[in-house]
Amino acid sequence: MLNSLEQIFYGLSLAVLPQNLLYAFMGCILGTLVGVLPGLGPITTIAVLLPLTFQASDPLGAIIMLASIYYGAMYGGSTTSILLRVPGEAASVITCIDGYEMAKQGRAGPALSIAAIGSFVAGTGSVIALSFVGPAFAKFAVSFGPPEYFALAIFGLVLSATIGGGSPARGFCMVLLGILFGLVGTDTVTGVERFAMGVPALADGIDLVPLLMGLFGLGEILYNLEQKGELSVLTSKIGRLLPNREEWKESAGAIGRGSVLGFLVGLIPGGGAIIGSLLSYTVEKKLSKTPEKFGHGAIAGVAGPESANNAAASSSFVPLLTLGLPGNAVTAVLFAGLLIQNVQPGPLMLVKNPDIFWGVIASMYVGNVMLLILNLPLVGLWVQLLRVPVWILGPAVLLVAIFGTYSLRSNWTDVSLLMIAGGAGYILRKAALDAGPFAMAFILANIMDTSLRQALLMGDGNIAIIVSRPLSALIIGVTTVVVIYTVYSYFKAGRAKKYERPDNS
């Protein structure tokens, strides 16, 4: 413990060097910017900047900048989710549900502030956990094999059906549809292309970003075309910027729980920020005294998931730095960044490059403070976005979505996909079918299918492998209980019961 403390001070002494502070600051600003711009995510940005770090004479500075882009983007990602119902990056999909409702009620300020504050608490908390117990958690990360991934994916799918405010039947319908679309692309286990119709851009699956921006962002723009005048009502009542006492009380617990959940899920390679925010949202809804508020602007539904995705972003550094295992696409690019600087991430990094290891971790403390200072005043600025007349805002979002989509893979097919997803988003919205469960299932489908079949290969075709391993058995058990409860209460309530629409529009 004392040793860790000493190391952190050593790291801090490196992180506060003027040039490193500058790198962190630049990274934070850039990260916030790309987080705010839908479509452009940290992956693209870090990848674009990666070649520049070839020339950097200072490896620590280069890595600090790349890392701060990542967690900066996590802060920025919630902004457009709340203001425009366009997820700034994938992990903020959940924030669209209640964040956007809050904005419509004139509570955009508190929503944005709580997202920034939650992100700060979660980010800092995770870095503390990372510095003290990170290496101990590294073993936990690799103990996750196919049976555990399968159990987690099934659990996630069941939870997805219950997010939002619609009926469970509608939730499950969207989950099933999401699974189908999530399975498009090359099958890992047999190497066969599924449902790609020979389109090269679909061989790796439907790209998440155009899909999300279409379903949520474009869908919303199209929906607003017929709701003339509604948005202008909203612009007149931008009230407070900071949460009031009641909102604080509702969010405090959510931030704490979201941070812990996010930290744990972030450790698992491939688990990542999205599952963290999904879990947090469900937990908050179940624990809340007023679950009916969820889907209609519950601040805990913003605070929890936003904390979770930030905590997950920080904890995904644990497998990267201690095992050399990049758990998601962003850490994979960071991994390459370290290699370019002649630093081999992995078990020996702590011994061979303690300056980089502790320098990066310490810079995360500094970066989180910077981001809070940067983001809170920005809330006032972002809220002004709502004063922009609708006839300007709509085309502007449209253009950013189009350019953002194209910039990801320089692919025309993705732009077409964006438009189709937009149309689908509008029709689903009119039919009171929620796109949230669809997006979750879309992400989890492949994990579920691949890991089930990998597990069967490992267990010589015997499905018992999934229930005979303690961790996966536990998750499967909990899932079964949730399913039985949901089905039971659905039929008990009677199908005739009128459910509220997912949005109170």
Partner 1 sequence: MKLKRLVLALAAACAMFVQPANAQYPNKPITLIVPWAPGGSTDQTARVLAKAAENYLGQPIIVVNRPGASTTIGMAELAKAAPDGYTIGTLSSTGYLVKLQGRQLSFDPIEDFSYISYYGDNLIGIAVLTDSPYKTLKELVAFGKANPGKLKYGTAGVGTTQHLTIEALQRDSGAKFVHVPQQGSAASAPALLGGHVDFIMETSVWAPFIESKQMRLLAVSATKRSDVYPDVPTFTELGFKSLRSVQAIIAPKGLPEDIRAKLESAFRKALNDKAFQATMQKLAMQVVDLPGADVKKLVEGEYALAKDLIESTKK
Partner 2 sequence: MFRALERPVNVAAILIAAVAVAFGIASWRLGFWTDDGPGPGLLPFVTVCFLFPILFLIVREKFDDEERFKASPLAAIILLCVYAATLPYLGFLIPTVALIVAWTTLFERQNVLRGIVLSGFLVACGWVIFVYLLRVPMPLLPVW
**Chain positions contacting partner 1, by CB under 8 A:** 47-48, 50-51, 54, 141-146, 186, 188-193, 198, 200-201, 203-204, 269-270, 319, 323-326, 332-333, 335-337, 339-340, 342, 344-348, 409-411, 450, 454, 457-458, 460
Q: Which does 409 bind (CB under 5 to 8 A by kind): partner 1, partner 2, none?
A: partner 1
Cβ atoms of 304 and 260 within 8 Å: the answer is no
Residue whose CB is less far from partner 1, 295 or 319: 319
- The residues, any chain, with a CB within 8 Å of residue 438's CB and separated by 6 or more, are 174, 175, 177, 178, 181, 215, 428
Residue whose CB is less far from partner 2, 245 or 497: 497
CB of 464 to partner 2, least distance (A): 14
Residue whose CB is less far from partner 1, 335 or 442: 335
CB of 102 to partner 1, least distance (A): 36
* Alpha carbon 384 to chain centroid, angstroms: 25
Distances (CA, A) of 129 to 135, 200, 314, 321: 10, 43, 10, 14
Counts of helices then strands in the chain (DSSP H, E): 23, 2
Residue whose CB is less far from partner 2, 83 or 421: 421
Q: Which does 204 bind (CB under 5 to 8 A by kind): partner 2, partner 1, none?
A: partner 1
CB of 9 to partner 2, least distance (A): 37
Phi, psi values for residue 463, rounded to 5°: -70, -15
CB of 100 to partner 2, least distance (A): 18
Q: Which does 142 bind (CB under 5 to 8 A by kind): partner 1, partner 2, none?
A: partner 1
β-bridge partners, 185 = 194
Distances (CA, A) of 486 to 161, 164, 332, 490, 493: 10, 14, 38, 6, 11
CB of 173 to partner 2, least distance (A): 5
Distances (CA, A) of 311 to 75, 120, 272, 333: 11, 9, 10, 19
CB of 443 to partner 2, least distance (A): 15
Residue whose CB is less far from partner 2, 299 or 400: 400
Residue whose CB is less far from partner 1, 197 or 496: 197
The DSSP code for 501 is P
Reading the block at residue 481, the tokens are 């209980």
Residue whose CB is less far from partner 1, 47 or 483: 47
Cβ atoms of 16 and 62 within 8 Å: the answer is no
Q: Which does 473 bind (CB under 5 to 8 A by kind): partner 2, partner 1, none?
A: none
Tell which phi-psi region holds residue 409, choosing left (phi > 0), alpha (psi between -120 and 50) or beta.
Answer: alpha
Residue burial 469-479, b: 16+ Cβ < 10 Å; e: rest: beebeebbeeb
Chain contacts with partner 2 (rule: CB under 8 A): 37, 40, 44-45, 48, 167, 169-170, 172-173, 176-177, 179-180, 183, 187, 189-190, 192, 194-195, 218, 222-223, 225-226, 390-392, 394-396, 398-400, 402-404, 406-407, 410, 412, 415-416, 418-420, 422-423, 426-428, 430-433, 448-449, 452-453, 456-457, 461, 495, 498-499, 501
Residue whose CB is less far from partner 1, 5 or 52: 52
SS3 193: strand
Q: Which of 238, 274, 246, 282 is nearest to 102 (CA)?
A: 238
